[in-house]
Amino acid sequence: MSYLFTSESVSEGHPDKISDQVSDAIIDHFLAFDPNSKVACETMVTTGQVILAGEVKSNTYLDVQKIARDVINRIGYTRSEYMFDGSSCGVLSALHEQSPDINQGVDRNEPEEQGAGDQGMMFGYAINETESYIPLGLDLSHKLLKELAVLRRENDEIKYLRPDSKAQVTIQYSDNNVPEKINTIVISTQHDDFAEEAQMLGKIKKDIIEILIPRVKAQLPPATQKLFTDEIIYHINPTGKFVIGGPHGDTGLTGRKIIVDTYGGKGAHGGGAFSGKDPSKVDRSAAYATRHIAKNMVAAGLADEVLVQVSYAIGVARPMGLYVHTYGTSKVNLSDGEIAQKIEKLFDLRPFAIEKRLKLRNPIYEETAAYGHMGRESQVVSKTFYSPDKASIKLDVELFTWEKLDHVDLIKKEFGL
């Protein structure tokens, strides 16, 4: 019997995502001017207010208030009627020096023996049901909101959109775990006020179904387009009016959207958030490393679906262990434990090795903080950063290095694929 599985995403204007983007923009600026910076930055946003807190060890000084305002304005909170805008909101910084008790467990005389910045377990996951090797429902949820943001910025077809929005997609799967059709799409989008509520609801639903959905569908491969049928159930702004939104409607905090950031509820999650953390924090770097491993395993044809877990003790370089689960989809005559032993030989999972392999001490993180850290396109971009004394630095950096399929041939050779 077929079954249903649901994943969701939230837009760049969602309060929690504003917080993630501010925290990661601060990380990027520290790393741009001092690649050895150690930073843990948490952000809270609410009506007319931004609060920054956390720990820093760095040789550079930043105007974190300006960084926060620039991010908020870029997202689209530029009007006072939102009760939260980048130019007028208060920004309070409570950032302070990193604890030496933590730092002594990380820094080593030999860089390759750098200890993990914390204990914990991290998971990477990949599945071959989409070109990006992430679950279909999550992939579609991200695409819907990214395109909705494009429409908002174009401001010609849908003029009333505001930055805050959420999407949720339910996929019907066969007994063989193959997507059969899209069952339900839920979209809630903040909007300008309308004179008549009934007219407002009708127009928003019509625009979403007749403008947004076709634009997203056109971006998809033919096999996925066929999953869009006339039987899809749509819930568009199901509570009705959604004028009050963003940080005025709901307080936002860094790190509250860990399932949106990863695999939409599939696979597993170790519980640690990513945004606001420099790569010495294995919550972030090891999660990227295990995603890199899982994606290359699936792309190599080793299995249709893979979960990889790694775990660490704070201050210890070598992980406690590596776990691999192929959900019975393995294409080789080996147990999952035997696969894990081979994979462990191919990938050095010490924190310093991860940082070097994936180029994680570059300012690459603000782009991760909305629409998912996984399933993105690896690309080189130029970024310019400014310090309070007006000094600037321009860097060419490679984004989403953990999404590269650069170990496929190595895995094929090791497993005889």
Distance CA 152, CA 148 (A): 6
Residue 166 known to bind ligand: yes
Question: Does 206 appear as a known binding residue?
Answer: no
Please indicate if the annotation marks 58 as binding a ligand: no
The annotation status of 21 as a binding-site residue, yes or no, is: no
192 annotated among ligand-binding-site residues: no
389 is in an annotated binding site: no
Determine if residue 203 is labeled as part of a ligand binding site.
no
Q: Is 256 annotated as a binding residue?
A: yes
Task: Bin 155: left if φ > 0, else alpha if -120 < ψ < 50, else beta.
Answer: left
At 331, list the tokens: 């294409």
Q: Is 165 annotated as a binding residue?
A: yes
Query: 16: annotated binding-site residue?
Result: yes
What 8-state DSSP symbol labels residue 211?
A: I
Rounded distance, CA 136 to CA 305, Å? Answer: 13
Classify the phi-psi angles of 183: left when phi > 0, otherwise alpha if psi is within -120 to 50, otherwise beta: alpha
295 is in an annotated binding site: no
**157 appears as a binding residue in the annotation:** no
Is 359 annotated as contributing to ligand binding?
no
- What is the C-alpha to C-alpha distance for residues 114 and 317, in angstroms, rounded to an integer? 6
Instruction: Label residues 247-270 b or e (16+ Cβ within 10 Å = b).
Output: bbbeebbbbbbbbbbbbbbbbbbb
Distance CA 154, CA 205 (A): 19
Q: Is 242 annotated as a binding residue?
A: yes
Q: Detail the residues annotated as belonging to a binding site.
A: 14, 16, 42, 55, 98, 164-166, 241-242, 250, 256-257, 273, 277, 281
Q: Detail the residues annotated as belonging to a binding site for K(+).
A: 42
Q: Detail the residues annotated as belonging to a binding site for Mg(2+).
A: 16
Q: Detail the residues annotated as belonging to a binding site for ATP.
A: 14, 164-166, 241-242, 250, 256-257, 273, 277
